[in-house]
Structure 1
């Protein structure tokens, strides 16, 4: 699912009059797509709260730190080898000075930490030990390296520069409590004063006072420890703040999977039950009184429905900061829009199988006086539930109309029609408040047409699509497809697409009966559905 909503003919709320009111209605009626697809891996900036997540996060960041340190150290090692080779003819060095052995040792240590952290062979405790041991061992190698270098290189300052880069980089990248960062950094820089003393004792320079140089090195080493600890403290508490921000009551937000004009949808998990859920959170910029009422109304009306083919709402509430949200079931599947775009036209038997399930959901909604008003392929998701393959769920009741209740006209206005143009009934275009259950059946007929042919009934620019719904007769699916479609099924689809609501099937139950009577359609067997889902998992 896209993280940002785009305004297009396929997904719009269109005003029938101009002016500021219409523009406000356009904004306020924009929907958020319900959670329906598996999201991407959470970004590393999010601080995980479960044990497995903490281990994976630590392994990822430790490997990143070691990789950067290894590559940087390798670059400087290569530079030293080249410089030594160039200067070899004019300078005489001991073997350890001529070849930077301890620089190589530090590089090998970082490469080992990189490989081991990415091997997934360590527990959380093992990774912490690897972090401390690798950092301190590499720092010790750099200290010995400074001792073996010529004094003309000012190796006492070079080792301070190297260790400041290593320790500050570790503090910024590796998850670590400030206290832990402090002792690792202290252990890493502790040899610096002694190494500096040994360097200047062996080769006392005439223009430098050894005591002053050692004192300066000690102060800089202390500064490195303090700065690394401060960085670690800031980042550690920022991660904690992010973790708290990602929790709504007993639900932990895992990743964002959708965003629109009115809200954001996250994949989440119940803290105790570990049940995957989707949480729809009202966007701060949409938190006006009217938007809050519409958001609350969507949650309440959806919660009234109990049919298994309607998405379930588990909870509704607001955060301590005042943001409203509601919790619904998370569907790990594929919506019909994506399915047809990826697979092409579906077999007629599968189309009938899907339509019957959607009819069941609509029959319950219509029975309690609710009209969905936004039936479209993207709002119907197929998944595997309870061992049943190709289980259809109807989503997104953000535009639902209560024909038996007392809908506030500010929430269901006369001067706009809400929905997706390719699936709008003519009466909805002419007058949004005239929508009734047969308007949903028109939209379902348009969905069936899309499933059978792989293309909408009418397509093109927004105005062209609207005029076609009002004036043009749809091309038969068999003519669009260029091959035979079962005649009875084609007749059912075209009857649903009649301009006059009275000529359509009178109810969702009647449409189910018509679908059951399509004996010229080869049934979609459970074995075929199971085989398709197995292939999808292994693809």
Structure 2
């Protein structure tokens, strides 16, 4: 079917681009670029050859020239590189298959161009009517192909030297065969010597080019190493940094590395990032992401390593699979409550509880295991100076957070934020889970904040259009009270209230296992973050409210 990629699996030796998935993919993409560009260049010379022959001899026809042996071979060489491009576009190949395709294409094209040069000699061509000119034309075609391949396709220098040598051998052989009958005194008699010298120069050029480019790529890969960790794909962004998947050189366990985001190198940002990792590292609850390591890159950027969570965040869960049943919502919220209870007991407020910061995964054989992540805006209640505000260069005060999940007091008073502010945000998360819609919707952040301050939420069952568990609904509405005093006294109180629901035991471990068996593979495919700025952590100017 058009546009479908099949998959070939073959045991393969180490490829020039590495055996990792990203290295194999890069190798395949670059091989495809080589095939496409070389095909276009090769085809581009065909009309030039035909136009030149007709200009010299108007009696010749396009059909007659196109049917000539050398032109047919030229077409075959052009088509063969086009086939390389087509295969790399339609089929996902292993490193071994890609190496075979690379080698076969190079040697095949070199042989065809060499044959083309031999056929041009004595073939009636008015442009290349001398043997040495015919073979020089073929030499240029082969040289252009192998040099472009050295530039486009990542390959160790040794492999490039071998492939280039094998590719130019048919050309040298064709030179010798074509010119062996030439009289010793003629100028063409030295053509094989010059062809050999040109071939050696081409091999050296390709090898040096490949060495430089391949070395630069290797340096770039090494530059993605932080101590014992090697960075792989970017998997997300938080309030303070960018998160990459990584692996430890010795332990070989999947790890997530968070780097301080580019452009956040000021003293306040460094202090906040450092506070994030230090405070998160004090948390040991199973439902809180675990911190492994912390350090600085060679250029001074801060980073920390944490457990890699191969699952789905709650924002993507609802976006892909819709509103969740009451039993599952209670199961998730109770886990988050327990994680927050530990943090609150230590005097820490998360301040950015939102669906994207709660990830469902599998841990210790338990499915639907919730993990709270991204403590980038964490505040210590006992701090002498409020840490949830930032003073800008022009003296303005800004508050960081996510507008869809702002607690009212976070908007009106930076000093009024406490543990119950996290509960408000968690209530908004529960509302989103059970209804499939955010608590409030507005066109601007200012209007959204006004809703948090003044608008009474619509009951979830009304918003959903069908009944939900009454206890869950009551707890959610209580946590969404405008004043902190009307909310549950703490995270454990909220967790206990949820446990009293008849639906608390409806979502069983068997239900979780069935869901992950059916949807787990697709759920673990990370989606592209939405462009909805109301769901993104922002800084709000308190002075202009």
Using the size of structure 2 for normalisation, the TM-score is 0.78
What is the Cα deviation at residue 165 of structure 1? 2.5
The answer to whether the aligner puts 1:477 opposite 2:451 as a matched pair is no
Counterpart mapping for 1:329-368 below 5 A = 329-368=307-346
The answer to whether the aligner puts 1:429 opposite 2:411 as a matched pair is yes
Aligned to 2:138: 159
Unaligned 5+ segments in structure 2 are: 1-14, 129-133, 392-396, 523-545
Structure-2 change in CA distance of 1:402 and 1:170 (3 Å): same
Aligned to 2:202: 224
How far apart are the structure 2 equivalents of 1:447 and 1:130? 51
2:257, 2:303 within 8 Å by CA — same for their partners in 1? yes
How far apart are the structure 2 equivalents of 1:471 and 1:514? 26
Aligned to 2:242: 264
The answer to whether the aligner puts 1:440 opposite 2:422 as a matched pair is yes
Aligned to 2:272: 294
Q: In the comparison of the two structures, how many residue pairs are matched?
A: 490
What is the Cα deviation at residue 176 of structure 1? 2.4
Aligned to 1:494: 477
How far apart are the structure 2 equivalents of 1:521 and 1:283? 40
How far apart are the structure 1 equivalents of 2:510 and 2:35? 50
How far apart are the structure 1 equivalents of 2:422 and 2:322? 24
How far apart are the structure 1 equivalents of 2:19 and 2:218? 13
How far apart are the structure 1 equivalents of 2:70 and 2:142? 21
What does the per-residue CA deviation read over 1:14-69, in whole Å, with 9 as the maximum and x for residues that have no partner?
xxxxxxxxxxxxxxxxxxxxxxxxxxxxxxxx986557776676566556645665
What is the Cα deviation at residue 229 of structure 1? 2.3
Query: Which of 434, 442, 456 does residue 438 from structure 2 map onto?
Result: 456
Structure-2 change in CA distance of 1:122 and 1:484 (3 Å): closer
1:348, 1:522 within 8 Å by CA — same for their partners in 2? no
What does the per-residue CA deviation read over 1:84-118, in whole Å, with 9 as the maximum and x for residues that have no partner?
99x99969x99x95475655775687688789999
What is the Cα deviation at residue 152 of structure 1? 2.9
How far apart are the structure 1 equivalents of 2:234 and 2:144? 34
Structure-2 change in CA distance of 1:130 and 1:454 (3 Å): closer
Aligned to 1:308: 286
Q: Report SS of the residue matched to 1:286.
A: coil
How far apart are the structure 1 equivalents of 2:244 and 2:298? 18
What is the Cα deviation at residue 311 of structure 1? 0.8
2:16, 2:155 within 8 Å by CA — same for their partners in 1? no
The answer to whether the aligner puts 1:139 opposite 2:113 as a matched pair is no
Q: Report SS of the residue matched to 1:285.
A: coil
Query: Which of 384, 399, 412 does residue 362 from structure 2 map onto?
Result: 384
What is the Cα deviation at residue 432 of structure 1? 1.5
1:197, 1:210 within 8 Å by CA — same for their partners in 2? no
Aligned to 2:510: 527
What is the Cα deviation at residue 275 of structure 1? 0.9
How far apart are the structure 1 equivalents of 2:505 and 2:172? 85
Aligned to 1:168: 147
Aligned to 2:450: 467
What is the Cα deviation at residue 232 of structure 1? 0.7
How far apart are the structure 2 equivalents of 1:121 and 1:409? 55
How far apart are the structure 1 equivalents of 2:170 and 2:102? 19
Structure-2 change in CA distance of 1:218 and 1:261 (3 Å): farther
What is the Cα deviation at residue 163 of structure 1? 0.7
Query: Which of 401, 412, 417 does residue 419 from structure 1 map onto?
Result: 401
How far apart are the structure 2 equivalents of 1:48 and 1:145? 33
How far apart are the structure 1 equivalents of 2:521 and 2:257? 29
Structure-2 change in CA distance of 1:537 and 1:323 (3 Å): same
How far apart are the structure 1 equivalents of 2:299 and 2:213? 23
How far apart are the structure 2 equivalents of 1:518 and 1:322? 51
> Which 10-residue stretch deviates more, 49-58 or 219-228?
49-58
Structure-2 change in CA distance of 1:213 and 1:47 (3 Å): closer
Structure-2 change in CA distance of 1:273 and 1:88 (3 Å): farther
Q: Report SS of the residue matched to 1:152.
A: coil
Structure-2 change in CA distance of 1:261 and 1:310 (3 Å): closer
How far apart are the structure 2 equivalents of 1:261 and 1:393? 17
The answer to whether the aligner puts 1:189 opposite 2:168 as a matched pair is yes
Q: Report SS of the residue matched to 2:303.
A: strand
How far apart are the structure 2 equivalents of 1:121 and 1:487? 54
